[in-house]
Chain A
Amino acid sequence: MATAPAAATGSTASTRPGTPESAGTRSALRGLRCRACGVLQPADERYVCSECLGPIEPEYDLASFDTGALRLGIERGPRSLWRYAALLPIADPPAHAAVGWTPLLAAPRLGTALGIGRLYLKDDTRNPTLSFKDRPVAIALARALELGLDTIACASTGNLAGAVAAAAARSGLRAFVFVPESTEPGKIASAAAYGAQVVRVRGTYDQVNRLCGRLADEHGWGFVNFTLRPYYAEGSKTLLFECAEQLGWALPHHVVVPVGSGALLTRTATAVAQLRATGLVNGEHCHIHAAQPAGCAPVSDAVLDNWRAVAPVRAPATIARSLAIGAPADGDGSVGVIRESHGSAASVSDDDIRDAISLLATAEGVFVEPAGGVVVATARELARRGVFHADETVVLYLTGNGHKQEPAVVSLRDVIAADADEFAVAYAEVL
Chain B
Amino acid sequence: MGATLRLPTPLRATVGGQTIVPIEASDLGALPAAIAARYPDLAARVLRDGAFGSFITVFVDGEDARYLDPTTPLASAKVELLPAMSGG
Chain A interface residues toward B at CB < 8 A:
36, 46-55, 155-160, 205-207, 209-210, 213-214, 217, 225-226, 229, 233, 260-263, 312, 314, 322, 325, 327-330, 332
Contacts and interface: CB of A to CB of B under 8 A. Distances in A.
Given A53-B53, A332-B54, A210 B59 contact: yes
22 contacts: A50-B10, A52-B45, A53-B83, A54-B53, A55-B85, A157-B88, A205-B86, A205-B88, A213-B85, A214-B80, A217-B9, A217-B19, A225-B86, A225-B88, A261-B86, A263-B87, A312-B66, A314-B64, A327-B84, A328-B87, A329-B84, A332-B54
Interface string B52-67: 0111110100101011
Contact of A48 (B54, B83, B88): B83
A271 to B, nearest CB: 17
Nearest to B54: A332
A209 B55 contact: no
Question: Binding site of A, secondary structure by majority: helix, strand, loop or mixed?
Answer: loop
Given A36-B55, A312-B64, A314-B67, A327 B86 contact: yes
Nearest to B6: A214
Contacts of A209: 85-86
Contact of A206 (B9, B10, B64): B64
A225 B55 CA distance: 15
Contacts of A160: 88
Given A36-B54, A156-B88, A325-B86, 19 more contacts: A47-B83, A48-B10, A52-B53, A53-B56, A209-B86, A210-B59, A213-B83, A214-B82, A217-B19, A225-B86, A225-B87, A260-B87, A261-B87, A312-B67, A327-B66, A327-B86, A328-B86, A328-B87, A329-B87
Contact of B88 (A50, A51, A54, A159): A159
Nearest to B9: A217
Majority SS of interface residues in chain B? mixed
Given A55-B55, A312-B66, A329 B86 contact: yes
Interface centre among A48, A261, A262, A327 (most CB of B within 10 A): A48
A55 B83 CA distance: 9
Given A55-B55, A327-B66, A155 B10 contact: no
A155 B82 contact: no
A159 B88 CA distance: 8
A225 B85 CA distance: 8
A176 to B, nearest CB: 15
Nearest to B7: A217
- Interface-centre pick from B56, B59, B85 (highest chain A CB count, 10 A): B85
Nearest to A179: B88
Contacts of A46: 10
Interface string B16-34: 0001000000000000000
Nearest to A328: B86
Nearest to B87: A261
A261 B84 CA distance: 11
Given A48-B10, A327-B66, A53 B88 contact: no
B8 interface: yes
B87 A262 contact: yes
A328 B83 CA distance: 13
Nearest to B12: A217
B55 A52 contact: yes
A132 to B, nearest CB: 12
A264 to B, nearest CB: 9
Contacts of B62: 207, 210
A229 B59 CA distance: 21
A322 B87 CA distance: 10
A217 B20 CA distance: 13
A166 to B, nearest CB: 16
Nearest to A236: B87
B46 interface: yes
Interface string B65-88: 011000000000000101111111
A327 B80 CA distance: 17
B35 interface: no
Given A52-B45, A53-B46, A53-B83, A325 B10 contact: no
B43 interface: no
A341 B35 CA distance: 39
A261 B62 CA distance: 21
